[in-house]
Structure 1
Amino acid sequence: MATRRVIHTFRDGDVKEVKEYHDGRYGAKGLPREKKRKPTQEQMAIVNAMNKAETARHRLLEYFGKKDYFLTLTYRVDARPPDMERAKKDFSKLMDKLRRRYKKEEIELRWIRNIERGTKGAWHIHLIITGCRDTIRWVEGCWPHGGIYAEQLEKSKYYEEDCSQLASYITKSEKVGEKKEDGSREKPRLSESSYSTSKNMPLKPPKKKRLARWPKKIHVPQGYYVAKSHEGINPATGFKYRRYTLIRLNRRI
């Protein structure tokens, strides 16, 4: 069985995310290749949710910091959109207005958002956005549909150094419920969702390496510490994997 290591590097090496996993493409020495098993629809939905959260986490690690903002935009009952298309248009109008303000101040605007409709019909938008001194005032002036709840990322209850909780929260959908402490899944609390990001957040391809064997311990390079680590089973393959985030001790930011 092949063991592989994938290393994503962010912020010029200040942050690294390492994933080690068995891909099941090869059998043990002298044995035939592992038979590929077909995952269930539920398993594939979970894997797709994990992949979406992973990409969101990588963008958070590369482009967002503690002083950026996590906002929740709500709708008054009388201002609720009739459908997702209207909600998307409401968001686009907001961003058009904000983009002009950020451009005038020579600040590049980046964002990650999820439009959500609850099972009881209420709508809201979770938004992670580049922060500046006027962010909250600008958003308040450009969102006429309801209330705004704002906090800096470092003060959010979902913030961690590896951004895993925040990424899972901002990418949740009606297809997969949130993961509980015992590993099981809650019933989805959404009836509809739409996840999107700004286009100015490209990600560099990772470095990949084939390993001779499964590493028993996490390898921590000199000058780094492990911010968080996680081991689990890929629901689609049935093989174990490990993920850990390394942060430079003397990072620049």
Structure 2
Amino acid sequence: MAYTQYTFDLGEYTAYEIKFVGRNGAKGEKRAKRQKATPEQMSRQNQWNKEKNLRYVILANFHTGDAWTTLKYPRGTRPDADRMRADWKKFRRLMTTYYKKHGIPFKWVKRMEIGKRGGPHIHLLVNHIDNIDLVIKEMWQKTIEDLWIKGRNYVNIAPFDIDGAEDVAKYLAAEPEKKGIEGQYNLFGEEEQKAFTRVDTSRNLIRPQPEKKKYSHWTVARFFRDGIKPRKGFYVVPDSVKCGVNKITGYSYIYYMEKRLKEGDRSPGDRTGGLADAVFPIDE
């Protein structure tokens, strides 16, 4: 039985997406019957793809030590989407100029948001540069100098960890109701709501494209029989292993990620099994 494997090179990580017919990849198995997707299933499928694609972009472009940032406004101020877009444009221009002066491209992923109490802010992942904390604070102060109150800090910065890329992607891509802040969004018009739920990225980021291969001389049954064996110098990230049947397409799938071992690291194991218990959220 043939299967198709999509391999994404993401730097330290490699992602594998395998599609096939049947539940266990055994000879003679048939593709499951396709079902008409319900709005809930489509929404879940689209959300999964949004989070996954964003995670791939983050893994391919950012590294441990980059800056996970929140740009805030003084308490009580309520700038609308137009003001926030204008502020972001000015801040981005200042940052781009600074990075260019130091011979480094400015890379970023950002989302504007309204908090549970109505406070506007901008979430931002940005690549590292020397004194990154001071640089971001200085440029944001210049951006909102008409609102900045002396002695206050309107920037939160935390070191980014590449192993937390999935959490960052989920947070940036999450729908307002998942954060309990949909009530604040309802105060805005449709266009502003779109602005507060969209994730934007700089144009200079790598957009991972898969290497696609179709295998016809052996089946994926070995994954269920023997588990997943990583390439030399890599290990399978245990929590990444998912499998199941996509009810919308009728195809079964296996998904997993490998991470490159660093010098001195010990592999958690040569194989990862348990595929029968690993299920994608979109299989529900």
TM-score with structure 2 setting the length: 0.70
The one of 205, 223, 235 equivalent to 1:225 is 235
CA change 1:54–1:202 in 2 (3 A) is: same
Partners of 2:29 and 2:66 lie apart in 1 by: 52
1:44-91 C-alpha deviation (Å, 9 max, x unpaired)? 222222212122211221111111100011222343212x23322221
* Aligned match for 2:163, one of 123, 136, 160: 160
The answer on whether the counterparts of 1:52 and 1:171 sit within 8 Å (CA) in structure 2 is yes
Structure 2 residue 7 is the aligned partner of structure 1 residue 7: yes
- Is the 8 Å Cα contact of residues 23 and 237 (structure 1) preserved in structure 2? no
1:243 aligns with 2:243: no
Please list every run of 5 or more consecutive structure 1 residues that lacks an aligned counterpart in the other structure: 179-185
Counterpart secondary structure, 2:203:
coil
| Secondary structure of the structure 1 residue equivalent to 2:93 | helix
For residue 82 of structure 2, the aligned residue among 77, 81, 85 is: 85
Instruction: Name the SS for the 1:79 alignment partner.
Output: coil
SS at match of 1:127: strand
Match of 2:50 in 1: 52
* Pairwise CA distance, 1:169: 1.2
If each structure's strand is expressed as a fraction of its own residues, which one has the higher value?
1
Structural RMSD (CA)? 3.1
Give the C-alpha shift of residue 23 in structure 1.
6.8
What is the number of residues matched between the two proteins? Answer: 233
Q: What is the distance in 2 between the residues matched to 1:66 and 1:29?
A: 44
**Residue 126 of structure 1, CA deviation:** 1.0
Aligned partners of 2:78 and 2:120 also within 8 Å: yes
Query: Which residue is equivalent to 1:177?
Result: 178
Say whether 1:129 aligns with 2:126.
yes
Equivalent residues of 1:114, 1:195 under 8 A apart: yes
Q: Which runs of 5+ in 2 are unaligned?
A: 149-153, 186-192, 264-284
TM-score normalised over the length of structure 1 = 0.78
Task: Specify which structure has the higher proportion of helix.
Answer: 2
* 1:148 paired residue among 148, 155, 168: 155
Identity of aligned residues (%): 26
CA distance in 2, matches of 1:21, 1:187: 36
Stretch deviating more after TM superposition (242-251 or 110-119): 242-251
Between Structure 1 and Structure 2, whose CA radius of gyration is higher? 2
C-alpha deviation, 1:138, in angstroms:
1.9
Stretch of structure 1 that moved more, 65-74 or 190-199: 190-199
Name the structure 2 match of 1:16. Answer: 14
Aligned to 2:63: 65
State the 1:95 CA deviation. 0.5
Provide the residue aligned with 1:118 in structure 2. 115
Moved more, 37-46 or 203-212: 203-212
